[in-house]
Amino acid sequence: MIHVGIGYDVHKLVQGRKLILGGVDLHYSKGLEGHSDADALMHAVCDAILGALGEGDIGHFFPNTDPRWHNAPSRLFLQEAARMVRLRGGQIINVDSTVIAQEPRIAPHIHAMKASIAHALDVNQARISIKATTNEGLGFIGRGEGIAALAVASVNLP
């Protein structure tokens, strides 16, 4: 049976933080605020996989009140989601995602982000899709106040 899940995440852009997206440091003047490394893309992908499993969301498994996840690299969350798929005897078929950011340009980093997500999930890079768009200057994303990410995942479960 093919199960599909969706994920959405948004984090605020602030001074004094690294901008980590898809496990890659984008070396931007601001970074995403959050308890972990605030990697909105990995969080959206994690939620999509958990959604396909019908297992709730990232906040349930990795609460932002838990000191273990303070500044934690979000690949840990993806590794755990992939482990849950394998425990169920399942297989991740594909992940598609979109980063919505006014700045910086995401496109030059997409190859590295795909490799990083594929590695964390232990799947072939061909199964991971990452796209990027601006918000045409509209709203909080358009003003550069935050970055959002959307993801869908399909998982084959016995």
Per CB under 5 A, residues contacting Mg ion are 9, 43
Q: How far is the CB of 15 from Mg ion (least distance, A)?
A: 19
Taking the least distance from each CB to Mg ion, the nearer of 43 and 75 is: 43
Distance of CA 26 to the CA centre of its chain: 14
Taking the least distance from each CB to Mg ion, the nearer of 123 and 151 is: 151
The torsion defined by the Cα of 151, 156, 157 and 158, in degrees rounded to 10, comes to: 170
Taking the least distance from each CB to Mg ion, the nearer of 46 and 110 is: 46
Q: How far is the CB of 44 from Mg ion (least distance, A)?
A: 8
Taking the least distance from each CB to Mg ion, the nearer of 64 and 125 is: 64
Residue whose Cβ sits closest to Mg ion: 43
Give the three-state DSSP class for 6. Answer: strand
Closest CA to 126 of 152, 81, 100, 93: 93
Give the three-state DSSP class for 61. Answer: helix
CB 150 within 8 A of CB 42: no
State how far the Cα of 36 lies from the Cα of 149, in Å rounded to an integer.
16
Q: How far is the CB of 51 from Mg ion (least distance, A)?
A: 14
